[in-house]
Structure 1
Amino acid sequence: MADVLTRREHLAAAIQHMPTPIRTEDLAAANAAAGFSGHRNTARKDARALCRRGVLTAVPGPGNRTCTRTTSTEVPS
């Protein structure tokens, strides 16, 4: 049986191939392309969750909406 990836697991794998900086709209587009919710608010929540998991690092600055990849290529659970 094939493994079914959750939305955030899919994003964690997809960001390894995205150019940096990674914007909220990039995450929303990746979600929509995979058949998940393509809403900006969902992408912002996903970005925060992936930052907590160590997949992304937020770029410092007021009102900033961009992130960069961490050096890890492994997708944490």
Structure 2
Amino acid sequence: MPRCDVCGNDYDKAFQLIQADGTRGTYDSFECAIHAVAPTCEHCGCRIVGHGAEHDGRFFCCAHCATHAGVEGIEDRV
């Protein structure tokens, strides 16, 4: 059976995630895939699951965190 790259679980329903650059990973859950490939918010450190915010090559989970990190002119809602 395929083994998860993150937790090592041997699971018959594991799946592969192939990124645009060709990097592959095998995971037994979306949780493990998120821990492996989701970007991290530069301000609070949480994994960004969703659109988040990006400014000048820096990633944030929300406008609040981006503002606290010094980014100006970004809002969650307008």
Structure of larger gyration radius: 2
Q: TM-score if structure 1 supplies the norm length?
A: 0.26
The structure that is strand-richer by fraction is: 2
Q: TM-score if structure 2 supplies the norm length?
A: 0.26
Structure with greater contact order relative to length (CA < 8 Å, sep ≥ 6): 1
